[in-house]
Structure 1
Amino acid sequence: MNQHPRPFRLILGSSSRSRQQLLKELGYEFSILKPGIDEEAIRHPEAEQLVRLLGNAKADALVKMLKNEKGSSRTTAEPLLLLTGDQVVVHQGRILEKPQDPAEARQFIASYANAPAITVGSIVVSNLSTGKRYEAIDRAEVYFHPIPESVVERLIAEGAVFACSGGLMVEHPLLTKFVHHIVGTVDSVMGLNKDLTRALIERALAD
């Protein structure tokens, strides 16, 4: 259940399994809507600005979608919150998004032993009842031991890495033992800092 004294509805604008898992761990009930935006059409050379633009573009698309739904005028007293965001990996100054093919996934994962993988993510909470929006940028650094080729190939064969920025899956059993240390939190690396998310939801409900 949503553990908050004031009832509210929550929509997660993401199909990411890790974000869904982390939101469940926070104790929130939520429904899922996919924004369906063309992420490739939104570009920026700075990682922080890129994820901020993407997180807000997803929110804008879903707000429009909900307004266009038949009978979508909301008269309920319960606040309706929308949670969106995005994440990229920065490695040696280069922004990495989801790998496009096995060769790129192989390159991304194998290179993490050379320099830390820095995750940069945005969290955007929109209160559709008030029209206000609350957002934050979160960063973490992952340092790896050398990752054997056999492990990289098994990850690629499974295919889940193609849904993750930079092919980065620190929570995967095949990769955890090769993580040297993390500056930040595992949930940040997985795409949703739980403390920041809870704080933004609390702010959205308090205002």
Structure 2
Amino acid sequence: MLSSKLANYNIILASGSPRRQHFLKDLHIDFEIRVKEVDEIYPNHLKGIEITDYLATLKSKPFENELTEKDILITSDTIVWHQNKALGKPKDYDEAFEMLWQLSGKTHEVITSVCIKNKNFQKIVNDTTIVEFKKLSKEEIDYYITNYRPYDKAGAYGIQEWIGKIGIKTIKGSYFNVVGLPVHKLYEELMKL
């Protein structure tokens, strides 16, 4: 249904994330992948959704002069928001361990923003999911980092991986948003085109 609505458009996903690519395939959307490197730096005064909105928009900027009316560019950003601080992707084992130790036994928010853009318009949608971890042991955290190397994931974890299966007590909101894309909101916006 969505694919026929989008038949006249060239959908561009500006993400190297296999998870985001998989979601678009699951929606039966024909798309191409174009990734441009962007320094994901944001002003210090931004909080929560302001950060992901800013970064999703920032990722669309390198494409501005290339887009036509028939192009639809999709860029996205996800952070873990915990104790009034953004947890992005960890640089190494120690940083990943520290992040998971902070999240252990506590509740945090996963925030994702999506920027949908072409030559004539830009729309940003976002979603927040509340996730609660059980109290993780140091051995569990070490096992997960050593075996899954979650250095490409905000907050140092993938909910779909081992740590999510054994460590997450409750989730309030969209599971897919935690994986990295609020698919239901993206679908709604694409259906409006």
TM-score, length basis structure 2? 0.89
Displacement after TM superposition at 1:155 (Å): 2.5
* Map of 1:11 onto structure 2: 12
Partner SS for 1:154: helix
Partner SS for 1:161: coil
Distance in 1 separating the partners of 2:36 and 2:53: 15
Taking the TM superposition and a 5 Å limit, the aligned residue runs for 1:188-207 are 188-203=177-192, 205=193
Question: Which residue of 145, 149, 174 maps to 2:134?
Answer: 145
Does structure 1 residue 79 correspond to structure 2 residue 70?
yes
TM-score, length basis structure 1? 0.84
Instruction: Note the alpha carbon deviations across 1:105-156, whole angstroms, 9 max, x for none.
Output: 001112222321211111111123xx20111121001111122323322332
Runs of 4+ in 1 over 6 A off after TM superposition: none
* Map of 2:152 onto structure 1: 163
Q: Structure 1 stretch 157-166 or stretch 115-124: which is displaced more?
A: 157-166
Displacement after TM superposition at 1:37 (Å): 1.0
Instruction: Note the alpha carbon deviations across 1:5-55, whole angstroms, 9 max, x for none.
Output: 351221101111221122222221211111211113x23431211111111
The unaligned stretches of length 5 or more in structure 2 are: none
* Map of 1:49 onto structure 2: 50
Question: Which residue of 137, 160, 164 maps to 1:175?
Answer: 164
* Map of 1:154 onto structure 2: 143
Tell me the C-alpha RMSD between the 2 structures: 2.0
Instruction: Note the alpha carbon deviations across 1:144-203, whole angstroms, 9 max, x for none.
Output: 112232332233224541101111211103431221110101101111011101112122
* Map of 2:35 onto structure 1: 34
- Counterparts in 2 of 1:149 and 1:34: CA distance versus 1, 3 Å: same
